[in-house]
């Protein structure tokens, strides 16, 4: 889909479709009112008759409205005006784009972006419009032999802004939105790919291709390299699999060479059977999503490079399968991590932390300004926060606050969880420096505590996306989260969040 920005009045648009909003209890928005005035009360009449009450999610398509230059008008219900916030704004855009895709219109002019959303800027509204529009039309059908054809898909969306002095920030918001939306799409696709296709070598190949197209530095460590570095914790997870593990490193340099990088580490378990501590069979297919942390940091890297942000960013992905097998790690095995700390592996299904800890130690060599890891780490996080918020942990409160704000700004919320020392006791082992599990209660926290033992040298945050990275059920699929949160945090850090 192509996007452009324009400023003009709705009744004068020569467009296949003009899209305007109606609030609940039948209140026309300003652009709708302008159309209504031009057409001699045509819209008000329809609304009065009850055909469009303004309920959120409702739409009404009108043809040949008098005294307008467009072929159609799409009315979009916005819900209660008082409750119209960031989330409602994005939903309205999604609804509009989905309907536009099913009408005959190839192009449309959208007046919903003119709507005020609390204190959100024009750049914010345009950015969110582009992200929501592209997200709503995302499809993953590469394995369907018969694709569902959209007869006349929407090709061009013109976003209208109220004033001419809004054109420049709107343009910038549009370009950022495009980059972020493509990052989200990449993340979704990597997540959705089946685990026989998307294995560690596939992720490494993706990273190499990204490096070429975006001029990034790329380095892939092989099993031998990991052995030399002493990454025995990561290697312990990879033992059961016939797929060799990879440690992928991508670097983007948008700032001065001596500026410390922000480092993102993403869990890349391309399939998690649990290993010898085998998972139950029900819904085990969903463990193909156990590389969504990796997918999200790659998607974020792509977006940052496309936006050419003036920051240095390094992405690290430990990638492996977690499989049972004759050579697999046993519960009770003790390994020495790259940091030198020993780990008693009591449950081979707690493998995420085992691969992350070595990646975190490896990250020290980049001297991170800030390090954020992203992982589908614990079922316990899903129990705690459901599918709404990502679990957020940090060894610095300011960083937690910044990430939480970025999530709010991006419609991709995270919730700050405790990381008090009291929880560290859960990881005691009688035989090694620590166990890899912390017992039944507080599982998301004890997992974060485990990681905290490998991140003492830098400011660090951990995002547990087990509940937010994908949706189950009928419209199953990767969500692309937390790419919106991460990209907004990095926009903020780069001073480009307008
Ligand atoms: N990948 C899973 C976490 C997970 C579970 C994500 C369900 C999404 C849905 C992780 O590797 C895992 O298996 N964690 C265990 C840890 C436990 C053994 C301490 C879990 O959460 O059950
Ligand atoms: Mn597991
Ligand atoms: Zn896992």
Indicate which residue's Cα is closest to atom 9 of ligand 1.
Answer: 379
- The answer to whether residues 150 and 271 belong to one domain is no
* Ligand 2 mean position, distance from CA 343 (Å): 16
Cβ atoms of 1 and 156 within 8 Å: the answer is: yes
- The answer to whether residues 244 and 291 belong to one domain is yes
* Ligand 3 mean position, distance from CA 352 (Å): 5
pLDDT greater than 90 at residue 58: yes
Domain-embedded: residue 223: yes
> What pLDDT, on a 0 to 100 scale, did the predictor assign at position 151?
82
The C-alpha angle 129, 132, 138, rounded to 5 degrees, equals 140
The structural domain count of the chain equals 2
Q: Which domain holds residue 142?
A: 2-159
Q: What is the pTM of this model?
A: 0.98
Assign residue 91 the CATH number of its domain. 3.40.220.10
Distance of CA 36 to the CA centre of its chain: 39
- The answer to whether residues 213 and 138 belong to one domain is no
- The answer to whether residues 235 and 291 belong to one domain is yes
| Residue 404 confidence class, pLDDT cut points 50, 70, 90 | very high
CA distance 105 to 130: 18
CB distance 32 to ligand 1 below 6 Å: no
CA distance 268 to 297: 10
- The answer to whether residues 92 and 185 belong to one domain is no
Domain-embedded: residue 164: no
CB distance 380 to ligand 1 below 6 Å: yes
- The answer to whether residues 286 and 429 belong to one domain is yes
The ligand minimizing its distance to the Cα of 444 is 1
* Ligand 2 mean position, distance from CA 220 (Å): 24
- The answer to whether residues 131 and 220 belong to one domain is no
CB distance 244 to ligand 1 below 6 Å: no
pLDDT tens column, 99-136:
999 998 999 999 999 999 998 999 999 999 999 999 99
- The answer to whether residues 126 and 203 belong to one domain is no
Domain-embedded: residue 170: no
Assign residue 186 the CATH number of its domain. 3.40.630.10
pLDDT tens column, 374-400:
999 999 999 999 999 999 999 999 999
pLDDT greater than 90 at residue 152: no
* Ligand 3 mean position, distance from CA 351 (Å): 6
Domain-embedded: residue 168: no
pLDDT greater than 90 at residue 2: yes
* Residue 32 backbone dihedrals phi, psi, to 5 degrees: -65, -40
- The answer to whether residues 149 and 10 belong to one domain is yes
Could you tell which of 268, 273, 378 is best to mutate to test the pocket of ligand 1, judged by most ligand atoms within 8 Å of the CB? 378
pLDDT tens column, 204-215:
999 999 999 999
CB distance 426 to ligand 1 below 6 Å: no
Atom of ligand 1 nearest to the CA of 277: 18
Domain-embedded: residue 171: no
| Residue 149 confidence class, pLDDT cut points 50, 70, 90 | confident
- The answer to whether residues 220 and 108 belong to one domain is no
Q: Catalogue the active-site residues.
A: 279, 353
* Ligand 2 mean position, distance from CA 467 (Å): 14
Helices (H), 308-413: 352-363, 379-385, 397-409
CB distance 376 to ligand 1 below 6 Å: yes
CB distance 437 to ligand 1 below 6 Å: yes
The ligand minimizing its distance to the Cα of 286 is 1
- The answer to whether residues 75 and 201 belong to one domain is no
Atom of ligand 1 nearest to the CA of 352: 11
CB distance 445 to ligand 1 below 6 Å: no
> What pLDDT, on a 0 to 100 scale, did the predictor assign at position 150?
82
Domain-embedded: residue 87: yes
pLDDT tens column, 233-287:
999 999 999 999 999 999 999 999 999 999 999 999 999 999 999 999 999 999 9
pLDDT greater than 90 at residue 351: yes
* Ligand 3 mean position, distance from CA 232 (Å): 18
Cα four-point dihedral sign 446, 447, 449, 453: positive
Indicate which residue's Cα is closest to atom 3 of ligand 1.
Answer: 378
CA distance 21 to 75: 6
CB distance 379 to ligand 1 below 6 Å: yes
- The answer to whether residues 82 and 145 belong to one domain is yes
Domain-embedded: residue 172: no
pLDDT tens column, 65-82:
999 999 999 999 999 999
How high is the mean pLDDT of the chain? 98
């Amino acid at each position: 889909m192509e996007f452009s920005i324009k400023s003009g009045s709705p009744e004068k648009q020569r467009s296949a479709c003009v899209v305007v909003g109606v609030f609940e209890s039948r209140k026309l928005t300003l652009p709708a009112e302008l159309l209504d005035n031009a057409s001699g009360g045509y819209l008000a009449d329809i609304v009065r008759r009850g055909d469009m009450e303004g309920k959120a999610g409702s739409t009404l398509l009108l043809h040949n409205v008098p005294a307008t230059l467009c072929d159609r008008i799409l009315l979009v219900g916005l819900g209660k005006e008082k409750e119209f916030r960031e989330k409602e704004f994005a939903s309205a855009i999604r609804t509009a784009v989905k309907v536009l895709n099913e009408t005959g219109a190839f192009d449309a002019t959208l007046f919903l972006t003119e709507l005020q959303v609390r204190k959100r800027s024009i750049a914010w509204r345009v950015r969110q419009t582009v992200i929501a529009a592209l997200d709503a039309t995302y499809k993953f059908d590469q394995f369907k032999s018969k694709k569902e054809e959209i007869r006349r898909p929407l090709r061009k969306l013109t976003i209208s802004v109220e004033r001419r002095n809004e054109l420049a920030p709107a343009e910038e918001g549009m370009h950022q939105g495009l980059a972020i939306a493509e990052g989200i799409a990449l993340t979704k696709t990597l997540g959705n790919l089946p685990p026989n296709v998307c294995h560690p070598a596939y992720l490494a190949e993706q990273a190499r291709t990204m490096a070429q197209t975006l001029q990034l530095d790329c380095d892939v460590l092989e099993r031998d390299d990991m052995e030399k570095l002493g990454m025995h914790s990561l290697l312990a997870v990879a033992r059961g699999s016939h797929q060799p593990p990879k440690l992928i490193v991508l670097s983007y340099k948008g700032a001065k060479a001596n500026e410390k990088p922000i480092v993102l580490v993403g869990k890349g378990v391309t399939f998690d059977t649990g290993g010898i501590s085998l998972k139950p069979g029900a819904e085990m297919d969903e463990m193909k999503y156990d590389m969504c942390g990796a997918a999200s940091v790659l998607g974020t890297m792509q977006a940052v490079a496309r936006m050419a942000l003036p920051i240095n960013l390094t992405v690290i992905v430990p990638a492996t399968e977690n499989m049972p097998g004759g050579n697999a790690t046993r519960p009770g095995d003790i390994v020495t991590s790259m940091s030198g700390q020993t780990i008693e592996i009591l449950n081979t299904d707690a493998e995420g932390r085992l691969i992350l800890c070595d990646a975190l130690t490896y990250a020290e060599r980049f001297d991170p300004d800030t390090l954020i890891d992203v992982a589908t780490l614990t079922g316990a996080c899903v129990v705690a926060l459901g599918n709404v918020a990502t679990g957020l942990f940090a060894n610095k409160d300011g960083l937690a606050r910044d990430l939480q704000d970025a999530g709010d700004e991006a419609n991709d919320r995270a919730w700050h969880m405790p990381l008090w020392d009291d929880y560290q006791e859960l990881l005691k082992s009688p035989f090694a420096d620590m166990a890899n599990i912390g017992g039944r209660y507080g599982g998301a926290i004890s997992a974060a505590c485990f990681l905290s033992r490998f991140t003492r040298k830098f400011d660090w945050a951990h995002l547990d996306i087990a509940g937010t990275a994908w949706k189950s059920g009928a419209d199953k699929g990767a969500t692309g989260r937390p790419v919106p949160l991460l990209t907004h945090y990095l926009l903020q850090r780069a001073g480009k969040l307008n």
